[in-house]
Amino acid sequence: MSVRVEVIGEASRELVDAFGRLLPQLSSTAKPLDCEAVHRMVTCDANTVLVARASEVIVGTLTLVLLPLPSGSRGRIEDVVVDGAARGRGVAGLLIQEALRIAREAGARTVDLTSRPDRAAANRLYERLGFRTRQSTVHRFSVDE
């Protein structure tokens, strides 16, 4: 399977449909995105939305967030998801490697990502790619509750 990773610069029906198919595979609480939501996401200056294509079909996606902070530019990888039918074929690795290349070129000091402990295969991949577990406490406030 030949896979091509590309940066997405504009919302399209294809991208909205891809998120509709992929996000539920990442999270059972993911809400469907409409074209306006996808447009806001891909045109946000802090975001770089990457997709992986196999046979011209979007089989994976990742969002890289780059933030200029007082402590230095930081990157964050969010919502890495690969279609179940394409898993185990290196798609996530290609997406992450491209995100790291972009972050490096942008001058990011670090790139973080989070992953649930039960995603064993994903966590092994992140470790193989050089990510290390941080000793940190993550605090979350849910705005929509």
Q: Is the pLDDT of residue 41 over 90?
A: yes
DSSP 11: -
44 residue type, one letter: C
Please check the confidence at residue 1 and state whether its pLDDT lies above 80: no
β-pairing verdict for 74-82 and 110-113: parallel
- What is the reported pTM? 0.92
DSSP strand pairing (47-54 vs 3-8): antiparallel
Average pLDDT rounded to a whole number, residues 85-104: 96
Query: What distance in Å separates the CA atoms of residue 106 and residue 103, rounded to the nearest whole number?
Result: 5
- Sequence-ordered list of residues with C-beta below 8 angstroms from that of 134, at least 6 positions apart, any chain: 112
- Distance between CA 11 and CA 21 in Å, rounded? 16
> Residue 38: what pLDDT?
96
Based on C-alpha coordinates, what's the Rg of the chain?
15
Token duo for residue 100: 């790291």
The domains located in the chain, with CATH, are 3-128 (3.40.630.30)
The answer to whether the CB of 52 falls within 8 A of the CB of 59 is: yes
**Rounded mean pLDDT, 82-108:** 96
Q: In what order do the strands lie in the sheet with 74-82?
A: 3-8, 47-54, 57-67, 74-82, 110-113
Q: Which two tokens stand for residue 14?
A: 């294809």
Q: According to the model, what pLDDT value does residue 46 have?
A: 97
Q: 125 is written with which tokens?
A: 């991949």
